Structure 1
Amino acid sequence: MAIQFIRRRLGARQVGGPDYEPAVKLRVPAELLDRHEGRVLDPRRAEAAGGARPRTTAYRPRVLLVPDDVLCDPAAIGAVRAVLNAAGYDLEVPRSGGGASARPVALRALTGRDHDVDSWAALQRLRAAADDVLDWDLVRRISLEHLVFSAVTINGTPWDTNSDQVTGSYRRSPSGSSRVPVAIAVEPPRRDELGDRFTRRPVVAVLDSGIGPHPWFDIADRSAPPPADGFISVLDEAQRAIRDNAVAAPSLLDYWDSPVVSESLIRDVDSNTGHGTFIAGIIRQAAPNADVLAIRVMHSDGVAYGSDVIAALEEISRRVDRARREDRPGDMVDVVSLSLGYLDESPADSRYTTHLAEVVRRLTEQGVLVLAASGNNSTGRRFYPAAFADLPDLPGAGPGVISVGALNPNDTKASFSNDGAWVTCWATGAGVVSTFPTDVSGPRQPELADEHRSGLDPDDFRSGFAVWDGTSFATPLAAAAVANALIDVAAADTGLSLAAVDQETVVKRAWAALERCYEQYEV
């Protein structure tokens, strides 16, 4: 499998070229919006308070993201509620979580006010009051709760792989999915013992759909957590923070990838079932000496909530900070792999910052290498968080975001992959074979079957392997290359040992690893 690293080219966008950002019409299936109480913003009808016309995005209309420190300040949250009350809204203010991260807060109509509850409209009321009734710095920190989608589906929509949107050369299954069960005859890639070459294993955090059973990971079933000191571990603090986030929609209970099948009467294997396990298998193949820290932020239908992604990243940042302060190398997280994202309604509007950008920037300041999928819309429109690769590096910080596009097996760029100067890495993301939960078997049957013979069952994954396509799978391959580079630079320079987790060494090691990737894979 191929990997190509490109030194970041910060600067002007090329209008009409690969950086041109055309309008992308979001066609989110109605059942997904209903399940997650979501809405697609229509730029033609959406009001805008003192700014440019927004672009289309998907969001939760009954939720606003509000920083926890604002919720803790009676005067600040009181002023916000007063403006919203005048517009017929109110916030159901939760108890403080004790941190500064953004929290999802339920928005409701005041009693006796019969109107649609829409967080975008409420946000415009707050923005209109900035520098008048409200402090401008406070208002810019309140934002929409975006729906974040898996970066796997081909041909125009970043969700539901079991739809007719999967067409052409990437369609293999009669069900319309590019995900197909396969069988392979290989042993799990061998892991070297700790020793002179590396004193600890680099850790790749995977924020995705969770994990399922597979023999490569010594997980036989879902009755017990992953084994201690195994290839995969979980972060209970992150799962607890995500449960605490639950507002007006289904909550993720733990790290298991479930339910396996959709909630429809047909009971298809859900569109992103196995997504996280597949990604973990890519890292096991390409960087067997690394470890995976699996955090479930995504539902099995490929939808995540922005606040859950932020909460998980916040917990990783806290863990890294704790590792540094208490000199605990075993708690270090070196790489974050994000195979998800969203199209922002106003990325060029510098007045309003996203909480996701803030926590991603904090991780890069800590020296954590963050890689994110560029998305599968076949467009130049920026897909976040991958498009944060556009941001300049900060003095004393580690490398900025590495955004990853997908290559075909013959090293050409996959037709579905997003592209632009903000895409800084390319890796094989089409025709990828990896691990899949062994307990997944759906209702679809082979096209031909009798008591003696059968065609391929597109829904039976008991072999434990599948082939799949998407920038989702290019990203962990690039993350594995970075993890390997961390081992290499630590072995070459004792001053960059993986046992050292002080800020200065971590940042130097991250830059050295990226430079190593340039030496090996630069195009």
Structure 2
Amino acid sequence: MAPQRFHEQFGHIQRSMPDVPLAMGPDDSAGFLYEKGVVLARDGEEARLVEDTVRTHFTDTRGLVPDHVRRVGPDTNRTGVTRIRVGDPAEGDDVVPHALGALAEAEGRHGRRLVSRNHVVHIAVNACPGDEPVPAPRSEPPNPAAAEDPYDPDTAVGVLVIDTGLVRDHASYPLLAHTTGDAQVSETGADGVLRQYVGHGTFIAGILAAVAPNTDVTVRGTLNDAGAVLESEFGAKLFEAVDEGGWPDILSLSAGTSNGSADGLIGLDAFMRELREQRTLLVAAAGNNASDDPFWPAAYATLPEYEDSVLSVGALRGDGASGACFSNHGPWVRVYAPGERLTSALTGFDTPVPYVYQHSTYDACRYGFSYACTCRYPRHTGMLSEAGESTSAKPDQVMFDGLAQWSGTSFATPVVAGLVAAHMTAHKESAPRAARAQLLASTTDRADVRGAHVQALRPPTWRPVPVLIPGPPA
């Protein structure tokens, strides 16, 4: 992946989590973020084994006193994970890689992964951004446009969106008139400028309501804090979200993390096991690192025990013919949908609000694609990109007064969630996982993604955006 924007986002997320020392991994590469000095283990015997093994290793090889290795936080919780401190981040040396190495032999003996980093889970335009939103005129219809299915509260499909919250006047957008949930925290800063990622959950809800009008969409602001949360906390927050309103028909999640592993997130073990026993279908974003590394929880779709309950979604470029440059890909991505330059509601329609771009566009695609992707157009200069540079270029500012164009697997995900919901309504199918299977079985559309011929879902009301092949920059 292209590391520049990842590093810009690293600083942004670190500022939003000032009490959590973060590092980039693996080995300081731009792959994922995690908490320094802490590892995760499952409660009970595994946690004791991890603690004892790491303490012995560090005492023998690094001269650390046993008190450096200790449990932090509650001993037990519903997620079934324990945070174990393995070093003091204030000393400047991140000992997490050493702890993981010390446990490799023990993991081999037990035949399973015992420990992991405490990863940062983030919305899929955060540490792996597709792009930033672009204002769209009110005269332009949403894309996908609203389907003609009527809303019927007695038969509406329940969809839970776990993301950032709803902007305060979201109901002024007709498609969101009956959308409920948590309010977005701190929409603007003290200067009146729209904060980064505000409107992300609102935008997603608008796409869902357009593709599937007969839905009861609830948006939970689980990821309001810069769209990022520690893995050790994420499982508990997911449980809180489903406990509040019950398990929905469809759970739309545009967040996750890679972890350098092929067997999921320890912090989500308990939630995923309970999900598997419910009727809920989890539709999850594949992430925007332009990578084939599994992105969790979307990649649970490739594990046999979860393939019926999880549907992973990658993004197609604007014309729908092939994969978007930023989209993650690989056999663990089950389906692709339009995810570049979609149009939906970002802010309410009451008062225009300014936004200052955080990232600069590039002279060429960060991922080596030749079409006019969102890496390059529309041109703008960003605040984070210019920080510390010798240039004095001023970040560009725009005004939002309702609609926006935005790109990312974050937005391909509600397209697919909406199509499953619309299938349930059209075919009077009450089981969301059965609807998923029927929808995929009946879909013959394909798209080219990095040489693979993959299954694609394109809503009837979606309008392709022409793709240009630009010449070299002037």
Which category describes the TM-score, using the shorter chain as reference length?
0.5 to 0.7
Determine helix, strand or coil for the equivalent of 1:285.
helix
Instruction: Tell me the equivalent position of 1:95.
Output: 74
Specify whether residues 190 and 442 from structure 1 end up closer, same or farther in structure 2 by C-alpha distance, changes over 3 A only: same
CA root-mean-square deviation: 4.1
Shift of 1:374: 1.8
Partner of residue 38, structure 1: 22
The answer to whether the Cα contact below 8 Å between 2:34 and 2:118 also exists between their aligned partners in 1 is yes
Structure with more relative contact order (C-alpha pairs < 8 Å, separation 6 or more)? 1
Following TM superposition, by how much is the alpha carbon of 1:443 offset from its aligned partner in structure 2, in angstroms?
Answer: 6.2
What is the CA–CA distance in structure 2 between the aligned matches of 1:486 and 1:116, rounded to whole Å? 53
Relative distance call for 1:287 and 1:358 in structure 2 (3 A) is same
Q: In structure 2, how many angstroms separate the alpha carbons of the residues matched to 1:364 and 1:24?
A: 35
Q: 5+ unaligned residues in a row in structure 2: which ranges? A: 358-379, 381-395, 447-474
Residues of 1 paired with 2:70 and 2:141: CA distance?
Answer: 55
Q: How far off is 1:123 after superposition? A: 3.7
2:466 is aligned to none
State the distance in 1 between where 2:147 and 2:233 align: 32
Residue 186 (structure 2) aligns with? 259
1:208/1:275 contact within 8 Å kept: yes
Rounded to whole Å, the distance in 1 between the matches of 2:444 and 2:58 is 56
Residues 270, 218 of structure 1: CA spacing in aligned structure 2 closer, same or farther, 3 A cutoff? Answer: closer
State the partner residue of 2:339.
429
**Distance in 2 between the 1:203 and 1:440 partners?**
31
Asked if the contact 1:33–1:39 (Cα under 8 Å) also holds between the matched residues in 2, the reply is no
User: Paired residue for 2:221?
Assistant: 296
Contact 2:260 2:293 in 1 (8 A): no
- The within-5 A match list for 1:309-320 is 309-315=234-240
1:338 aligns with 2:246: no
Match of 2:289 among 374, 377, 386: 377
- 1:342 is paired with a residue whose SS is strand
**Size of the alignment, in residue pairs?**
390
C-alpha contact 2:162 2:219 (8 A) present in aligned 1? yes
Cα distance in 1 for partners of 2:121, 2:420 equals 25
Instruction: Tell me: CA distance 1:332–1:380, structure 2 relative to 1, closer, same or farther (3 Å).
Output: closer
Q: Is the 8 A contact 2:136 2:403 kept in 1?
A: yes
Identify the residue that residue 305 of structure 1 maps to in structure 2: 230
Q: Distance in 2 between matches of 1:388 and 1:205?
A: 19
Task: Measure the CA separation in 2 of the matches of 1:374 and 1:42.
Answer: 19
Query: Does structure 1 retain, via aligned residues, the 8 Å contact 2:26–2:260?
Result: no
1:405 is aligned with what amino acid? Answer: G
**Per-residue deviation, residues 312-351 of structure 1 (Å, max 9, x unmatched):** 33345657xxxxxxxxxx734111112122222232xx6x
Q: 1:281 to 1:107 in 2, by over 3 A?
A: farther
CA distance in 2, matches of 1:105, 1:218: 46
What runs of 5+ residues in structure 1 fail to find an aligned partner?
A: 1-22, 46-54, 167-176, 220-225, 235-254, 320-329, 448-456, 499-505
User: How many Å separate the matches in 2 of 1:310 and 1:65?
Assistant: 13
Q: Secondary structure at the match of 1:381?
A: coil
| In 2: Cα distance, 1:332 partner to 1:44 partner | 38
Q: CA deviation at 1:183?
A: 1.7
- The change in CA–CA distance for 1:303 and 1:44 in structure 2 (over 3 A counts) is closer
Distance, in Å, in 2 between the alignment partners of 1:115 and 1:362 is 39
CA gap of 1:25–1:345, structure 2 versus 1, over 3 A, is farther
Note if contact 2:199-2:346 (Cα within 8 Å) is conserved in structure 1.
yes
SS at match of 2:238: helix
Q: CA deviation at 1:108?
A: 5.0
2:124 to 139, 151, 161: 151
Is 1:386 paired with 2:333?
no
Kindly indicate which of the two structures has a greater share of residues assigned to strand: 2
SS of aligned partner of 1:460:
strand
AA of the residue aligned to 1:378: A
* Conserved 8 A contact 2:337-2:415: yes
Describe how 1:350-499 pairs up with structure 2 within 5 A: 354-356=266-268, 359-393=271-305, 399-413=308-322, 414-438=324-348, 441-442=353-354, 444=356, 458-461=397-400, 463-489=401-427, 491=428, 498=430
User: 8 Å contact 1:482–1:517 — kept in the other structure?
Assistant: no
Match status 1:514 vs 2:437: yes
- Map of 1:285 onto structure 2: 210
Contact 2:79 2:235 in 1 (8 A): no
Between the two proteins, what is the percent identity of the paired residues? 25
| C-alpha displacement of 1:85 | 7.4
**2: distance between equivalents of 1:341 and 1:31?**
18
Query: 1:124: which partner in 2?
Result: 101
- Residue-by-residue CA offset, 1:438-484 (whole Å, 9 max, x unaligned): 36723659x9xxxxxxxxx95322x2221111111111011011112
SS at match of 1:309: helix
Distance between the aligned counterparts of 1:514 and 1:317, measured in 2? Answer: 23
CA distance in 1, matches of 2:26, 2:51: 30
Partner of 2:370: none
Matched, 1:59 2:11: no
**1:139-218, aligned counterparts within 5 Å?**
140-152=113-125, 158-159=128-129, 177-184=132-139, 192=150, 194=152, 199-216=154-171
* 8 Å contact from structure 1 (residues 181, 460) kept in 2: no
Equivalence for 1:222: none
The answer (yes or no) to whether the contact 1:84–1:90 under 8 Å persists in 2 is no
**CA positional deviation for 1:429:** 1.0
Amino acid at match of 2:7: V
Q: 1:308 to 1:291 in 2, by over 3 A?
A: farther
Identify the range of structure 1 (420-429 vs 375-384) with the bigger mean alpha-carbon deviation.
375-384
Shift of 1:275: 0.7
